[in-house]
Amino acid sequence: MFFVSIVQSCLLASMLLTGSGAQEPAESLPGLAAAEEEPRTTPAAETSQLSEEEAALVERLLADAEAARQRGWVVRPRGRSAADLYREVLGIVPGHEGAGEAMADLHRQLLDEAVEMARDSDFEAARTLLDEAAGLHEDALLFTWALGRIGAIRERRLAEAEESVIGLIDSRRFERAEDRITELVAIGLDQARLEAVRDALADARLYGTLRPGQTFADPLAEPGDYGPMMVVIPAGSFMKGSPESEAGRRSHEGPRYRVTFERGFALARTETTVGAFARFVAETGYRTDAEDRGWSRIYEPRSGRMTRRNRINWRHDYLGREAAEDLPVLHVSWRDARAYAEWLSRQTGSNYRLPSEAEFEYALRAGSQTRYWWGDGTPSEPVENLTGDGDVSPTNARWNVAFRDYSDGFWGPAPVGSLKANPFGLYDMGGNVMQWTKDCWHDSFVRAPTDGSAWINPGCDQRVIRGGSWSSTPDMSRSAYRISGAEDSTDMRLGFRVARDL
């Protein structure tokens, strides 16, 4: 807040400096009169008690003061300024009318200049002029006007600058937004508002115009059509892989290492559905790998085994029957999943892709470091489509190896999102169907990227599959569990979901 000795009410000064409270002050100083052009002289009555030398000195001081005013020397240079010379006169002749009026004129002049400085957004200069004016003359009305006027100008500039910063952030012009925030600091934006703007810029750099946990769906080219519902995953870090002490651990789940995501990303809330994949095929005429080779693998309920069957493709469920639109699409290869993501990118103008293995595990764990995202053992409630000892097949069979005292009510894939979301708001990350990731397969994490990006080697044909499925044993449902699959392989346990850059 500007320091002013003349205004005694702190509440009034604070209100005026922020431009709040009373109606905005008038544009011109009240009662402002033009500076007198005639040099000020001393009436005889005021010098009648002075010696000839003193009277002459007063006349000389008044003349020098007027000359200093003409040069613009209002308060500087010290000792030769108009204000200092008029003070000398008042020291010789207390209550000198001409000198007193001149000091009042200088006071008004500085206040007027302070307002002009504020209009030019030089609030530091305005503050200095106010402080200087405060030492010249006591006129609470004029000072109050100037404070209010400068406060109103300042608040208007702040509002304009804040709006400009938000616009720059929305258009992703982050460096320019940083420059404008510096201007807000110079104008004097209060700390709470300044932190809010800085937080908005930081979030935009991490998440675009979105925020962690937010859901959204991008419009497709056809009016009224939208892509998959996406969830914004927060930036952060986690330990990828499993500790050596974890039950069921495989050697290729280590060595455990820290992955840090400097930016957030978006991940589909559920697996890609049959209905969504059908829209892609209808739009592009795409043929899947299973269609081209003429077969895929299904579940045979009488034997309880996986078996190859001809003329099975993405249109079919785990038994080889026609699949409902809300089921996760099955019988799709890594190449099919990539083609779908590339189509979404063309449709939306955003970069859709398969998630990296690190992104998948980070989002699956959702802050946990336990065997499963819900804990270390059997869930206390149905959270994922898993192998439970209470599940029964269409032929009344039960799982030999399963979660004890657990049943989710499904045998085979469930409609997506049927059970519980994990703490990041994602469904079916640890069950229902296994899912393709972008990475090439590696037998260990030695030299794996630590920034969360996909680990790709030119010419690789084995990709990483993550997540549990409806038929996975408890060991195979762990958050660190991973297997490989050929780029063209398909079966009734395997689907995918897409990721999107922010």
Listed by start position, the domains of the chain span 10-157, 230-286+326-500
Tell me if the bond preceding 458 is cis, omega within 30° of 0: no
SS3 state of residue 299: strand
- Please give the angle made by the CA atoms of 417, 232 and 452, to the nearest 5 degrees: 105
Report the alpha-carbon distance of residue 3 to residue 138 in Å, rounded.
15
How far the first Cα of the chain sits from its last, in Å, is 41
- Give this prediction's pTM: 0.68
Can you give the C-alpha Rg of the chain in angstroms?
38
429 pLDDT higher than 70: yes
Under DSSP, the state recorded for 395 is T
SS3 state of residue 157: helix
- Of the CATH numbers 3.40.50.720, 3.20.20.150, 1.10.730.10, 3.90.1580.10, which one belongs to the domain with range 230-286+326-500? 3.90.1580.10
Q: What pLDDT band is residue 29 in, cutting at 50, 70 and 90?
A: low
- Token readout for 301 is 């309920």
Region 205-234: what's the mean pLDDT?
Answer: 92
Q: What's residue 292's pLDDT?
A: 98
Whether 241 and 480 have beta carbons less than 8 Å apart is answered as yes
Under DSSP, the state recorded for 413 is P
287 pLDDT higher than 50: yes
Closest CA to 68 of 55, 77, 81, 53: 81
Q: What pLDDT band is residue 210 in, cutting at 50, 70 and 90?
A: confident
**Which is more confidently placed, 206 or 374?**
374
pLDDT digits (tens, 9 = 90+) for 235-248: 999 999 999 999 99
SS3 state of residue 258: strand
Quickly count: other Cβ atoms within 10 Å of residue 326's Cβ. 15
pLDDT digits (tens, 9 = 90+) for 402-426: 999 999 999 999 999 999 999 999 9
Closest CA to 338 of 289, 283, 293, 297: 289
Question: Containing H/E element for 337?
Answer: helix 334-348
Q: How far is CA 501 from the centre of its chain?
A: 14
